[in-house]
Structure 1
Amino acid sequence: MGNDTVVATVTDEAGERRREQRGWYFYDWACSVYSTSVLTVFLGPYLTSVAKSAADADGYVHPLGLPVRAGSFFAYCVSASIVVAIVVMPLAGAAADRGGRKKPLLAVSAYLGAAATTGMFFLDGDRYLLGGLLLIVANASVGVSMVVYNSYLPQIATPEERDAVSSRGWAFGYAAGALVLIANLVLFTAHDSFGVSESTSVRICLASAGVWWGAFTLVPLRRLRDRRTPPTAATTPSVHGWRQLAATVRGMRDKPLTLSFLLAYLVYNDGIQTVISQASVYGSEELGLSQSTLIVSVLLVQVLAVGGALGMGRLARAYGAKRTILGSLIAWTVTLAAAYFLPAGVPAGFFVLAIGIGLVLGGSQALSRSLFSHLVPPGKEAEYFSAYEMSDRGMSWLGPLLFGLTYQLTGSYRDAIISLVAFFAIGFVLLARVPLRQAIRDAGNPVPERI
């Protein structure tokens, strides 16, 4: 009878864990539409055009009195949004670990970002400052929400499940991005049939991403459970925000291999995030491609990224997550080199690049997230994932800044895009030097059979 009780308990726990996992996937489904439709496709070219309409005769706008090339404004705003996230993320991580109440934080950050994104409907004329402000709020909010979201992974998946669960989350996100992009493509290309201008159709696409984000956030808020944790020396109410982050970093000195992984991830992910946010600007401004071509290209990325995330998850089971990520970094480098030599006005070449990006994008990010979850000491999930998210989004301001500065100094988006190769090359070397099995043991976690 005792054995039956144990089996029933284990079965119930597994069922509850799967229920939470399914709810967890839906936050990727909710917020990834912002990353795809807003940050990757529409906002870069549209905000650049709005800034150009407000520019002086020399092509400069003057936010806060500073001379900025209109073509660099979007990249600088992305960098600024990440600086704001850096300030707020430690507050979210400390608060999430203190008492274990993560859902209210997830709700606040998600709905603030969704509201800012919905407000992009009012971005028209020469309101480039409004566009910059809304971008900063939305992009910072998605970064903060991901601190809380990612910190659930070690709690809802066993060590052997995490590669698969993380990959499925990314796959859900890319599937949602593809679905909404199809609707965006229909509206944008047939805007006359719907009785709206091209500009209005873009603003509808931007705002709809915010509505989608807010609506589907309800699913994880219903499915995920808060886990109350007793106060400890590291999570007492007197220790907040940056003090908590400083304590986390000091504690990580006892986990130098975890820090080594974070450094490697910081570098190569900066390159990934910059490619995601600046690809549409490169395609429209340097290659002279139409908005419809860019939408189809990103749609191609989304569709392939679903299979890519799941496929790289299977590769990780066969060859290990570390080797699979290293292979993806080589693919990223080759893709950027090819982008530099693409002739202008040739959509076919851009489509080929989209295929390459789609096959490695989701997997490289999903496997990095699951890999880091093995390096987190038990009980410090949100605290460590706050540091991880600062590496993921919070420190990813260097790439956009380098991209914007390179264009500002050279006037060439080709020079700007090739400068990003450094992030993948350096990240490859740093990751290759991390002994992951020892890092997992040092964190006090069981080492999976293949890592």
Structure 2
Amino acid sequence: MQQLNDRRTMNGWALFDWANSAFALVITTAIFPPYFTGVIDDQFTVAGFEFSDSSWFTLTITLSYLIIALLSPLLSGIADAGGRRKSFLRFFTIMGGVSCLLLFFFNGMDTLWLGTIAFALGLIGFAGGLVFYNSFLPVIATPDRFDKLSARGFAMGYIGSVLLLVLNLLMVQQPTWFGLPAEGTLPVRLAFITVGLWWLVFAAIALARLPDDVRIKGTGLREMGRRGWQELNSVWLRVRASSNTLRFLAAFFAYSAGVQTVIFLASTFASKELGFETSELIIVVLILQIVAVGGAFLAASVSKRYGNRASLYFQLMIWFGICLAGYFVQGKTTFYFVAAAVGLVMGGIQSMSRSTYAKLIPTREDVTSYFSFYDVLEKIAIVLGTFIFAGLDLLTGSMRSSLLALSLFFALGMILLLRFRIPKE
């Protein structure tokens, strides 16, 4: 039987966050989005349909998260069954890490399909692995350690990803220090290699410290998938019976479509609409990450004094302003302030949403199922937000109109929260 609160095991679990967070920061946010739109044609035709570079990138995210949303019940069932947790975590980790390595060979329209598929598989590997990573928490620690251990993983992920991003910034800005040519895309493509190796190597160390699988008879993939769907349906029936919880989740769905789409596409917007270079975008992302730390504390401070709903409203108003400012922004200097505003509310809105939802869960015995439902809802919101963004980008030829449309998601979120009340607040 697995020993709980073993220091070596818990450190290994936190180390996995150090490993995979590099993908979230370097690939999905800082370096790959502007590189993707920079090396392919502005407009091109596939199967008779016209696409812009940014709409193709956005639709890749949409399709990836649609696949993840459809897989989520199966993955949740596997995680809950507990028989193949480590095996599937290793599978999705290898998928994601190898996908990053393959991005090195993506260098233009001739390799568009390679770049698209590798990026999509990286997203699936990252999000799919998180289901199993999170499910290890109650297996290795007692409830009194959950908060502290979870925070340690978050901190290690933040520190590790920023350290690697700083290295990548030096590679891009000072390639000769590393014996690389000053011209061309090689430094950026080598950054993708560093992410893949970082992810695979540190994850291997983490996996070696996590408890081995204990196969459970009679729990095949079909049975575990059925169990996952049953859990989601059971939670939905209970949520539907609580009008207050339903109001919150409707608001959460609305503003999550806006939040996640902005986070995914901020770099692409800056690159395409404002002409930011890769090195400039890395600096923007670093500023954003630093401000995000203070933003999380600010959200918690507002919540402590005025309550969760007031904190959410405060942040949603800022998000609404960000979308409007993004529509009108013209210069790089102004965009730095917009990016700082995103950092201010990026982490806060997500952490406050999670803690608010936790207060609405009526039982402590079925928390995993409730958060599986929450997770699927967020993924579907990403699909909706990115799909609408891509569609408007294609129709209007500008990402600015898409950004303006996202402001409606935040406005809808605020409207839906009007009648929401948090118990005992």
1:177 aligns to 2:177 (yes or no): no
Moved more, 17-26 or 168-177: 17-26
- Residue 140 of structure 1 aligns with an amino acid whose one-letter code is I
2:124 equivalent among 140, 162, 166: 140
Deviations 1:163-188 (CA, angstroms, capped at 9, x unpaired): x7655544443333322221111111
Specify the alignment match of 1:70 in structure 2: 53
Is the Cα–Cα contact under 8 Å of residues 37 and 53 in structure 2 kept in the other structure?
yes
Residue of structure 2 equivalent to 1:353: 338
SS of equivalent residue, structure 1 residue 239: helix
Do 1:23 and 1:219's aligned partners in 2 also have CA atoms closer than 8 Å? yes
Tell whether the 8 Å contact from 2:137 to 2:146 is kept in structure 1 after alignment: no
Instruction: Say whether residues 1:392 and 2:375 are aligned partners.
Output: no
Please list, as runs of the form range in 1=range in 2, the aligned pairs for 1:428-443 lying within 5 A after superposition: 428-437=414-423
Structure 1 equivalent of residue 26 of structure 2:
37
Tell me the equivalent position of 1:26: 15
Call closer, same or farther: CA 1:188–1:329 in 2, change over 3 Å.
same
1:430 deviates by 3.0
Within 5 Å, give how 1:214-293 maps onto structure 2.
Answer: 214-218=200-204, 220-222=206-208, 239-241=223-225, 244-256=228-240, 257=242, 258-293=245-280
- 3-state secondary structure, aligned to 1:217: helix
Report the AA paired with residue 123 of structure 1.
Answer: F
What secondary structure does 1:68 align onto? strand
Aligned counterparts of 2:207 and 2:307: Cα–Cα separation in 1:
33
Q: 1:170 to 1:372 in 2, by over 3 A?
A: farther
**When the two structures are superposed, what TM-score results if normalisation uses the length of structure 2?**
0.85
Conserved? CA contact 1:191–1:198, under 8 Å: no
Q: Measure, in 2, the Cα distance between the counterparts of 1:252 and 1:227.
A: 30
* CA deviation after TM superposition for structure 1 residue 336, in Å: 1.9
- Aligned pairs for 1:143-222 within 5 A: 143-152=127-136, 156=141, 158=143, 162=147, 169-193=153-177, 194-196=179-181, 197-218=183-204, 220-222=206-208
CA deviation profile, 1:242-292 (whole Å, cap 9, x unmatched)? 663255224431233455443332222221111111111111111122222
Secondary structure at the aligned position of 1:147 is classed as helix
- SS of 2:175's partner is coil
Distance 1:414 1:426 in 2: 19
**What is residue 389 of structure 2 aligned with on the other side?**
403
Task: Report the equivalent of 1:365.
Answer: 350
- The 1-side partners of 2:142 and 2:211 are apart by 13
The 10-residue stretch of structure 1 (21-30 or 152-161) with the greater mean CA deviation from structure 2: 152-161
Structure 2 residue identity aligned to 1:417: L
> CA 1:369 to 1:32, structure 2 compared with 1: closer, same or farther past 3 Å?
farther
**What is the aligned counterpart of 2:62 among 72, 79, 93?**
79
Identity level (%)? 31
Asked whether the 8 Å contact 1:85–1:394 carries over to 2, the reply is: no
Partner SS, residue 346 of structure 2: helix
1: distance between equivalents of 2:225 and 2:420? 29
Matched, 1:46 2:30: no
Paired residues of 1:175 and 1:303 also in contact (CA < 8 A): no
Deviation at 1:38, TM superposition (A): 0.8
**How many residues were matched structurally?**
415
1:341 matched to 2:328: yes
Q: Which AA in structure 2 matches 1:300?
A: I
Residues in 2 aligned to 1:420 and 1:359: alpha-carbon distance in whole angstroms: 18
CA displacement 1:207-226 (0-9 Å, x = unmatched): 22222222332455355558
- More off after superposition, 259-268 vs 415-424: 259-268
Alpha-carbon distance in structure 2 between the residues aligned to 1:432 and 1:295 = 38
1:397 alignment partner, SS class:
helix
Residue ranges of structure 1 left out of the alignment (5+ in a row): 1-11, 438-449
Q: Deviations over 1:4-23 (max 9, x none)?
A: xxxxxxxx97xx28876655
Counterpart secondary structure, 2:186:
helix
1:294: Cα distance to partner? 1.2
